[in-house]
Structure 1
Amino acid sequence: MEASHHLILLGSALVLLSIFAGVFSARFGAPLLLIFLGLGILAGEEGPGGILFRDFHAAYLIGSIALAIILFDGGLRTDPKDVRRALWPSLALATIGVIVTAAIVATAAALLFSTSWSRGLLIGAIVAPTDAAAVSALLHLRRLELRARIAAILEIESGINDPISVLLAVLLVNLLAAPAPLPASHIVALLAREIVGGTAFGLGGGYLLLALVNRLEATSGLYPILALAGGTALFGAAQTAGASGFLAAYLAGLILGSHRHRATQVINQAFDAFAWLSQIVLFLILGLLVKPSGLVPILGPSLVVAAVLMLAARPMAVVLCLLPFRYTAPEIAFISWVGLRGAVPIFLAIIPVLAALPDATMFFGVAFIVVLISLILQGWTVAAAARMFDLDVPPLQQASRLDIDLPGRLGDENTVAGYRVEARCRAASKTVEALPLPPTSSVLVVIRDGIARSAASAPPLAPGDYVLALARPQDLALLDRVFGPRPERSRADERGLLGEFAFDGTTALATIARLYDPAAAANGAATLAEFLASRFGGAPAVGDRTRFGAVELVVRDMQGDTITQVGVELEPAPVHPWRVWLQRFRPRRG
């Protein structure tokens, strides 16, 4: 009994220490995942903590649950617009890209470790998956945002390639452990069952979970538990049926997150905590498993594997997968570099150990070193790379909004949102009647100095006031623009991120040609918004840019899916000399 109490104390202390260390490390821009992993090592048997933990079965169980929660949360937070914008290139990277990456790494690993190509391929499959959550966290620390379509492809690729990598690693372990070669028909059937079954469990379970959330009358605190239990139950059911539980968890989260429901806010807020706790526990457990002294014999070859992965395998896979989708050379170069590795490769390296493959700990050591190098080199340079390739956009200044989930309300009904009036917002100094609100929205109450006033009797709004508004879920973005701070253009214009001059999206393309480059071919009937939308496959995003004659057009602002403002860059020559070379390989659009 006393040992149990010590275990509880020790586990809680490690989690608390991880949080404190993460907050402190943010000042130096250190990757949080690297901090969590480092604390696990320090607490391990060869660190000051001296904890002896070699239970790979327990680590696999805990890791599976944690990874399922992380993937469910990733799907929950994926914007449906991002899916439409980047689904096919993300699918290409998560399937073809994983296979190409694994194959290139396999060749190097087989030579470096003097092993068979199949074992080298297992190493490649283990280190192939990326971690977009780490990239997002690092950019957030630097107060940077990527162009929407770049952020979308990184996020969706990471959500999909984790299940694909797990499937490939399990398949290769089965092939290596089988006493006789498996027939091709058996392999195809296994792949089909994993992918098709995982998709069916994810989509079907996601809609079932959505229906349960909307139909069950429960206290608000039970809805996150319902979603958590439902997501992990889907994972377990899919795995039991021989399908991909990780794919099912991601898709179920995607379905639940893409539909508003009666518990949208409480579930999202709770899963933010669930996902962080899962990340901390997962990295601590994986760090505890590591014996630094056991890494020394394979350190040299593993460093070369990491170099091949970052400098050859990942870039070649990205070029092969993204060129058909007309991504530019700077975009391809950036996506190639930020293929950050996280917990999944180390987790996958547990599978050969559990299968008792010969020299199985070698896979674990290689995966750990590759992840460590990736977090150090790529993790610390993500923000610099975004600036270097001019793929960052000014961070949007968010409105201070609190969505209120009303009891009994379903997702497609009007919602109540609370706003704090900001000093530099469009609503400041205006009366409620003068606010540019959608016709289906209305202000219910204005609160000033703790006193609530009806919309009719409220004075002109002032900074610090609180407003409760009734609106349709699809109109909340418009209300954000009314009550949120006006965007500061000066920081963006310092580097020409959004162009030197701004034009309305309805401006005729021929007007720009006449003003800046009469030789440029322009459809007289097309507007700037229509031209840019066609150039970006009907899914443009703020920060997207394309050449038009001698100038460059930049998507500067959007309202929903419509481009409302376009920037014009008069001298779009690359800032960095090396980008002149990159531009030679830039694919043409349109």
Structure 2
Amino acid sequence: MEFTITNVILLFAVLLVIAVITTKFSSRLGLPSLVFFIAVGMALNHYIYFDNAYLAQLFGILALIVILFEGGLTTKWCHVRKVLLPSASLATIGVIATTLIIGFFATYILELEWLEGMMFGAIVGSTDAAAIFAVLGNKNIRTKLKATLEAESGSNDPMAIFLTVSFITLIQSHEMNFLSLVLSFFWEMGIGLVLGLLWGKVAVWMINKINLDSSGLYPVLSLALAVLTYSTVSFVHASGLLAVYVMAIFVGNSDLTYRTSIIRFNEGFGWMMHILMFILLGLLVFPNQLVSIAWQGMALALLLMFVARPIGVFLSMMFMKYSFQEKVFISWAGLRGAVPIVLATFPLIAGLEHSQMIFNVVFFVVFTSALFQGATISVLAQKLGFTGETKAPAPYSLELVSIGRTNSEIVEMTIEEGSAVVGKELRELELPEDTLITAIIRGNKIVTPRGTTSLQAGDILYVLVTKAQRETAKQIILEG
């Protein structure tokens, strides 16, 4: 087929449609969608020659920014706060332990130098949140475990990147300054955390205060601020990905105007970047080269799943209040995904001696992990009693929008148990001028608001309010 502009656009459209449809089948088969996306990329490899590691890395990092930002936006701080210590331990001690163990095996199995083996361990040391929860789907997994896996997956990427870059530097320079590495680690993580919080505050202020002509620009502004966070933090040699995740959690848990539009836009854009990233990374792999490293890749994948990851989890959570079964589940739920494959492009760009072989083995390990662990995570969760009934879809769906240039919007407010307004009639609420309660969701029913309607705990109110009066309206409705 001749690759004209029209044909390329047609191919792009067909790929997106196929990828979206495969996500439906992946959830039914219990497999992470990344398996299908990578397979599509590998299939296209027969028709499209692509070996530009630099372009793949650039696109991969941009995709990771979007994916981490979207994940942070939907992360509930009240859940993460309770598992902050274990998830932080998993993201640091767990990754280091996994790196050292699998790096030891890789040194002998792949016949590498010690630093090259440790670099391989660092590359496959982090887990992938998107892959994990694509497999779990709508399973009602225990909040404690879900929050732990979510926080670990969102925060362990910077550690894996730091270790990988450090080992590459050591391989190229042949000089090892442990003090410099330790100081560099604390600088990257500490400054990344602080600047992530600062950028989060800036983002919330800008989104809530700037009056744009179209509500559709606010999601674009939020994404632009996420990319700006990564670039400015990376410019001072700190962890840009950690900063993006922290910034997103802060933004997602703040009182934000146009929240629904921002979250839905980034969710859709995150899926598209996820799809395109894995297809692009699949194009980098030549299937005939995987045959020559099949047994090495399989051996390292099994050692990662059954030895390195479990030891890393149990070691890092030794003094945590988690049962043996919970640690087993967290160990098995450590799917590898986007980050290891993106990190595997670093040695390629650096021009290291065994970089292509390492990339192929990393790809094999990630694909195998996703295939075997991905197909069994849901089953294991059910066997261990960590899932409840399948979550029912919401009985309501209401688009929250801004009303053109009137600077008004519809916001969602939930009446909590014990609120001062419980039992009050709507006419008793002294709402600001130009504020209107448009709908009340009560259980599975939509209640038409009237002056005599009494509020109950659990009611979800949709309120039309001007931007200037939003805070006042929320205080009156939620606090009485």
So what's the TM-score if we normalise by structure 2?
0.85
Superposed counterparts of 1:46-445, under 5 Å: 50-140=47-137, 143-178=138-173, 180-218=174-212, 219-397=214-392, 398=394, 400=396, 402=398, 404=400, 415-416=411-412, 444-445=437-438
Name whichever structure is richer in helix by fraction. Answer: 2
**Residues 185 and 417 (structure 1), Cα distance of their counterparts in 2 relative to 1, 3 Å cut:** closer
Question: Deviation per CA, 1:114-164, whole angstroms, max 9, x where unpaired?
Answer: 222211111111111111222222222xx4111111000000000000111
AA at the equivalent of 1:7: V
* Distance of 2:9 and 2:410 partners within structure 1: 45
RMSD: 3.5
**Residues 458 and 445 (structure 1), Cα distance of their counterparts in 2 relative to 1, 3 Å cut:** farther
Offset of 1:8 from its aligned partner? Answer: 2.9
* Distance of 2:327 and 2:15 partners within structure 1: 39
Offset of 1:403 from its aligned partner? Answer: 6.8
Aligned to 1:41: 42
**Residues 115 and 475 (structure 1), Cα distance of their counterparts in 2 relative to 1, 3 Å cut:** farther
Offset of 1:454 from its aligned partner? Answer: 5.1
Query: What percentage of residue pairs aligned between the two structures are identical?
Result: 33
Offset of 1:268 from its aligned partner? Answer: 0.5
Name whichever structure is richer in strand by fraction. Answer: 1
Offset of 1:296 from its aligned partner? Answer: 1.6
Contact 2:53–2:348 at 8 Å: present in 1 too? Answer: yes
* Distance of 1:149 and 1:15 partners within structure 2: 34
* Distance of 1:456 and 1:164 partners within structure 2: 56
* Distance of 2:375 and 2:322 partners within structure 1: 25
- The alignment partner of 1:444 has SS state of strand
* Distance of 2:298 and 2:430 partners within structure 1: 58
**Residues 259 and 110 (structure 1), Cα distance of their counterparts in 2 relative to 1, 3 Å cut:** same
Offset of 1:253 from its aligned partner? Answer: 0.8
Q: What runs of 5+ residues in structure 1 fail to find an aligned partner?
A: 420-431, 479-590
- The alignment partner of 1:318 has SS state of helix
* Distance of 1:312 and 1:441 partners within structure 2: 62
Offset of 1:44 from its aligned partner? Answer: 1.0
Aligned length: 451
**Residues 107 and 6 (structure 1), Cα distance of their counterparts in 2 relative to 1, 3 Å cut:** same
* Distance of 1:436 and 1:392 partners within structure 2: 39
Contact 1:446–1:458 at 8 Å: present in 2 too? Answer: no
**Residues 205 and 311 (structure 1), Cα distance of their counterparts in 2 relative to 1, 3 Å cut:** same
Contact 2:27–2:134 at 8 Å: present in 1 too? Answer: no
**Residues 299 and 83 (structure 1), Cα distance of their counterparts in 2 relative to 1, 3 Å cut:** same
* Distance of 2:110 and 2:167 partners within structure 1: 18
- The alignment partner of 1:145 has SS state of coil
**Bigger relative contact order, structure 1 or 2, given CA contacts below 8 A and separation 6+?**
2
Contact 1:126–1:348 at 8 Å: present in 2 too? Answer: yes
* 2:33 counterpart of 1:32: yes
**Residues 309 and 435 (structure 1), Cα distance of their counterparts in 2 relative to 1, 3 Å cut:** farther
* Distance of 1:205 and 1:28 partners within structure 2: 40
Q: What runs of 5+ residues in structure 2 fail to find an aligned partner?
A: 416-420, 465-472
Question: Deviation per CA, 1:510-549, whole angstroms, max 9, x where unpaired?
Answer: xxxxxxxxxxxxxxxxxxxxxxxxxxxxxxxxxxxxxxxx
**Residues 440 and 264 (structure 1), Cα distance of their counterparts in 2 relative to 1, 3 Å cut:** farther
Contact 1:79–1:258 at 8 Å: present in 2 too? Answer: yes
Offset of 1:185 from its aligned partner? Answer: 3.3
Offset of 1:435 from its aligned partner? Answer: 8.5
**Residues 334 and 204 (structure 1), Cα distance of their counterparts in 2 relative to 1, 3 Å cut:** same
Aligned to 1:19: 20
* Distance of 1:372 and 1:93 partners within structure 2: 22
**Residues 105 and 68 (structure 1), Cα distance of their counterparts in 2 relative to 1, 3 Å cut:** same
Contact 1:401–1:417 at 8 Å: present in 2 too? Answer: no
- The alignment partner of 1:324 has SS state of coil
Contact 1:264–1:405 at 8 Å: present in 2 too? Answer: no
AA at the equivalent of 2:35: L
Question: Deviation per CA, 1:245-303, whole angstroms, max 9, x where unpaired?
Answer: 11111111111111021121110110111110111011001001010111122111111
Offset of 1:416 from its aligned partner? Answer: 4.3
Name whichever of 51-60 and 8-17 sits farther off: 8-17
AA at the equivalent of 2:193: T
**Residues 441 and 194 (structure 1), Cα distance of their counterparts in 2 relative to 1, 3 Å cut:** farther
